[in-house]
């Protein structure tokens, strides 16, 4: 049996979501001699130990024409070619924006079944559990095809250390320009920030912060704790914060180990994007705020009184 895992990297470093996907694939294989093939595209700094410790048997390093910058069409063609050559039982993705754009296309091109938002290993009956209805329910999906694409929800699966070795297989796949109908002109990346979709700790602010000039407190606390910063929809709509930080039903969906919401009432649209977090802490001066019903911990009080105390305590702990 073969399992292919599509991975993403940042400047050659394997992303956390990729490590989770490889660990997931290795656990599917369990104690069999299944080959776990990790795919990395346009990566000149591969750390085989990183891949091997997560459970990858081999790493396919893919390069070729029209693969230097991300393209939905080019990456779809590239991965589909490998799937057709290797004939795996599963193709595993982390459920990132990249996966959402190429996984359905790959499923069609390779005649595979597909399930997104997966949060469990396939059962003995070949059924997987996935989140549904904006994380308000679970669905159990029967895998009825011989080959399946599974997209794993980030932060839903533990990264494991298998202490195995992986080999590098260099592959060149040239994608014809005629297959590409869109191209990247410019890519702007925010540096020095923790990715929201991979963050284990997220500190988020709402209208209770009263204005963008007060966000320095959230940013200072986040820097001290190594957290990502986020915001509610009204905040991004008013341009207090960039839309890339908006979490909720129409923004990013996150699954943090700890989500701290400051000055956010907790409308159902916001809860849809954060309710899968393992622990939710809410700070709000309104004791009747709906968010307290979903919270594991709640602090009733003014954010401008509480945040300075949290920052001071974080500094003490860091020192």
The answer for residues whose C-beta is within 8 angstroms of residue 189's C-beta and 6 or more apart is none
State the Cα–Cα distance between residues 125 and 220, nearest whole angstrom. 49
Confidence at residue 163, expressed as pLDDT on a 0 to 100 scale: 78
State the Cα–Cα distance between residues 292 and 41, nearest whole angstrom. 44
Confidence at residue 152, expressed as pLDDT on a 0 to 100 scale: 93
* Sign of torsion over alpha carbons 58, 59, 65, 71: positive
State the Cα–Cα distance between residues 315 and 319, nearest whole angstrom. 6
Confidence at residue 191, expressed as pLDDT on a 0 to 100 scale: 57
- This model's pTM is above 0.75: yes
**Regions in the chain scoring below 50 on pLDDT:** none
């Amino acid at each position: 049996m073969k399992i292919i895992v599509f991975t993403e990297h940042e400047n050659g470093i394997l992303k956390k979501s990729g490590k989770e996907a490889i660990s997931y694939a290795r656990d599917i294989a369990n104690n069999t001699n299944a080959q776990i093939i990790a795919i990395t595209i346009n990566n000149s700094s591969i750390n085989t130990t990183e891949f091997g410790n997560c459970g990858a048997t081999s790493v396919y390093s893919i390069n070729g024409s029209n693969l230097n910058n991300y393209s939905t069409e080019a990456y779809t063609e590239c991965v589909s070619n490998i799937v057709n050559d290797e004939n795996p039982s599963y193709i595993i993705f982390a459920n990132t924006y990249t996966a959402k754009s190429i996984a359905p296309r790959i499923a069609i091109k390779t005649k595979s079944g597909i399930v997104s938002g997966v949060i469990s290993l396939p059962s003995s009956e070949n059924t997987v559990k996935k989140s549904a209805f904006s994380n308000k329910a679970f669905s159990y999906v029967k895998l009825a095809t011989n080959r399946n694409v599974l997209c794993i929800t980030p932060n839903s699966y533990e990264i494991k250390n298998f202490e195995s070795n992986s080999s590098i297989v260099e592959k060149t796949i040239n994608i014809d320009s005629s297959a590409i109908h869109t191209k990247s002109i410019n890519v702007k990346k925010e540096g020095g920030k923790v990715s929201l979709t991979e963050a284990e700790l997220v500190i988020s602010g709402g209208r209770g912060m009263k204005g963008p000039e007060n966000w320095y407190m959230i940013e200072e606390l986040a820097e001290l704790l190594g957290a990502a910063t986020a915001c509610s929809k009204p905040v991004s709509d008013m341009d207090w914060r960039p839309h890339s930080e908006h979490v909720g039903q129409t923004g990013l969906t996150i699954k943090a180990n700890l989500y701290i919401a400051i000055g956010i009432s907790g409308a159902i649209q916001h809860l849809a994007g954060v309710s899968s977090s393992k622990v939710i802490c809410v700070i709000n001066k309104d004791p009747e705020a709906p968010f307290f019903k979903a919270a594991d911990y709640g602090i009733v009080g003014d954010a401008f009184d509480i945040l300075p105390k949290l920052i001071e305590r974080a500094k003490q702990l860091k020192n």
